[in-house]
Structure 1
Amino acid sequence: MKKTLTATLAALTLAVSAIATMAVAADKPTMGVVVKIGGIPWFNAMEAGIKEEGEKLGVDASMIGPTSADPALQVRAIEDLIAKGVDVIGVVPNDEKALEPVLKKAMDAGIKVVAHEGPGLTNIDWDFELASASGFGEAHAKLLAEKMGGEGEYAVFVGSLTVPLHNAWADAANAYIAANYPKMKLVGDRYGVAENVDDSRKTALDVIAAHPNLKGFLAFGSQGPIGAGRAVEERRLVDKVFVIGPFSPGQGRALIKEGAITGGFMWNPAEAGRVFVRMGKLLVDGTEIKSGMTVEGLGTIEPDAAAKDIITNNLVTINKDTVDGLADLGL
């Protein structure tokens, strides 16, 4: 009898514990962040930030990285998250227009939507940026002009011709150069290859062959500087052709030390991952996003409520002096 009672009490204890665990899990907000492409260092770092902050804030947060930078794959991933009934969807868009219908579907289902690198999206609660489009583009343009001596031919890479922010950066850079350095000449059209290192390398080799007087590449998209840098290295054009753009320091460390990549600016993708979760948690908790509030990773914000944008400037310089420290942070 005593053994039976003991066994019964033990079973009840386990059952209560299981029910409590299930209740905690049910109360835990769920979030899925759909990025442009999986498996590259930039988004690997972002995923680490998402998971870290999710554990810290008690959010079941994960990242979904499609196998290629295809907007249709992002739409499919968002559809899956809607079907799962997550509380928050985050997105780094490849094509804003292609995602608007599925993001509207998410919002109609009561799901909060947070974007990054999508300042033109409308079917969202908020988009956050760690750099303004004009400031980011102009910073790279100034560095390229300085290295090229204010004259000569240059080419521009973007992730694709539909990635909104890459093209906004390129627009700002080209406008700044045209207004301030009339002896600098853009060759060709912009090339949508900078999310793929092999495409960037091959295109850079082709551009170099077609334009023997080329002096620079302005590459927006984390694989663009890597591919262009490899092409410059192969053609032994270090200190003759300058490669400027944002990239993952750990991936480009050797190239920048050799001079095949000249430098660039970035923000911390791991911090962007953490901000995704912080913003999602604020929205789930019903916290009003307002002027003057402080959001860790963004600082004191001045949100544009009409455009649903939060634009900050948190640029980090990448050069020979800083690359080791940044790479050692896992970036």
Structure 2
Amino acid sequence: MDRRKTLQSLGGAAVAGALGMTGRLAFAANPTMVTVVKIAGIPWFNAVEKGIKKGGTDFHIDASMVGPANVDPAQQVKLLEDQIAKKVTVIGLVPLDVKVCEPVLKRAQAAGIKVITHEGPEQAGRDWNVELIDSVRFGEVQMQRIAKDMGEEGDYVVYVGTLTTPLHNKWADAAIAYQKAHYPKMKLVADRFPGADEIDTSYKTTLDVIKAYPNLKGILGFGSNGPIGAGNAVREKKLGKKIAVVGTVLPSQAKDLIADGIIREGFLWNPTDAGYAMVAVARLMLDGKEIKDGIEIPGLGKAAVDVPGKLIKVDKIMRINNETIGGLIAGGL
């Protein structure tokens, strides 16, 4: 090879190397966001993950999701600690226990990591909490529905994911308060039961509840697997006409139970939108945008913002029944 060809070859290699390095630097320049959810592998959080990934693509953030194998706050903390060690740019969190998560989130903030929560309006150690519903109204409309099915009288029980899951318990508080104010002939026969994030736990709890409270007329489940487990037990015992099941469900999971009249109606917001919204807010923060009342959340519209409370809310309650379920499933839910 002569000297000119050698120099051309070396020059081409240098340019290729520089371009390759530029590509790697551009990729590395993308901020990173990891969202820690309550539990991995269930349909609800699979849908959340779709939104997170779409948001990552749209807003140029390397966004991903992780979650514990079981509903366990200690496992959530370990996953949060892992993200601090990895020096991610943003941590997202759907908390199981706000008190347990608080210290590790404050360590994340001290390390310069932004923190965005969903279903964590009372979570300390966050920059913003993002919701797609009005929490009080979400509890109240579900109580209105189950009261209708119960004839506004009789015994009922309430399920939540855990006794420390922030929003589940806030919805339950709102529903129970509404019942006491508007339906005095209805009776909450026991303290709320945990386990509504897991079908098997809710199923077993329902079998126990049916035995313990023979006059039971209603089960209100906050946690996307709670009404499914309860519905399976009610159907197995052939009590669908006696016991009304209402609650937070994913349409694709609840289809058969709604068609059979076991779950009288379901309620939710779009979990894919929730994941997307967290990443959208992360982008706004990283770009230094002022987050104030009426701000436009890309893809979701204008949001109500409580700046002192660090709350961002877009009210998008969806009702799931025989009339709406087909369209919701066709839309990916």
Q: TM-score, normalised by structure 2?
A: 0.96
1:185 to 184, 187, 190: 187
Residue aligning to 1:295: 297
SS at match of 2:142: helix
Deviations 1:210-266 (A, max 9, x none): 112111100000010000000111011122211000111111111111112111210
Deviations 1:38-79 (A, max 9, x none): 100000000011001101111100001111111111111111
Residue aligning to 2:250: 248
Tell me: CA distance 1:125–1:152, structure 2 relative to 1, closer, same or farther (3 Å).
same
1:140 aligns with 2:142: yes
Residue aligning to 2:316: 314
2:275 to 257, 269, 273: 273
Residue aligning to 2:61: 59
In structure 2, C-alpha distance between the alignment counterparts of 1:18 and 1:144, rounded to whole Å? 61
Post-superposition offset of 1:16: 1.3
SS at match of 1:67: coil
Residue aligning to 2:174: 172
Residue aligning to 1:213: 215
2:110 to 108, 111, 122: 108
2:231 to 229, 232, 235: 229
Percent identity, please. Answer: 51
Post-superposition offset of 1:3: 4.7
Post-superposition offset of 1:297: 4.8
Residue aligning to 2:85: 83
1:261 aligns with 2:263: yes
Contact 1:122 1:308 in 2 (8 A): no
Post-superposition offset of 1:189: 1.3
In structure 2, C-alpha distance between the alignment counterparts of 1:125 and 1:170, rounded to whole Å? 26
> Residue type of the partner of 2:323?
D
In structure 1, C-alpha distance between the alignment counterparts of 2:120 and 2:295, rounded to whole Å? 22
Post-superposition offset of 1:122: 2.3
Post-superposition offset of 1:275: 0.4
Residue aligning to 1:44: 46
In structure 2, C-alpha distance between the alignment counterparts of 1:299 and 1:330, rounded to whole Å? 20
> Residue type of the partner of 1:73?
Q
In structure 1, C-alpha distance between the alignment counterparts of 2:92 and 2:288, rounded to whole Å? 17
> Residue type of the partner of 2:212?
A
Post-superposition offset of 1:133: 1.6
Post-superposition offset of 1:6: 4.3
Residue aligning to 1:161: 163
In structure 2, C-alpha distance between the alignment counterparts of 1:93 and 1:254, rounded to whole Å? 30
Post-superposition offset of 1:298: 4.6
Post-superposition offset of 1:25: 1.4
Contact 2:273 2:300 in 1 (8 A): no
In structure 2, C-alpha distance between the alignment counterparts of 1:108 and 1:272, rounded to whole Å? 26
SS at match of 1:218: strand
Where in structure 1 are there 5+ consecutive unaligned residues? Answer: none
Where in structure 2 are there 5+ consecutive unaligned residues? Answer: none
1:326 aligns with 2:328: yes
What is the count of residue pairs matched by the alignment? Answer: 331
> Residue type of the partner of 1:208?
I
Q: TM-score, normalised by structure 1?
A: 0.97
SS at match of 1:89: strand
> Residue type of the partner of 1:197?
I
1:126 aligns with 2:145: no
> Residue type of the partner of 1:14?
A
Deviates most, 281-290 or 220-229: 281-290
> Residue type of the partner of 1:122?
A
Residue aligning to 2:152: 150
In structure 2, C-alpha distance between the alignment counterparts of 1:315 and 1:223, rounded to whole Å? 18
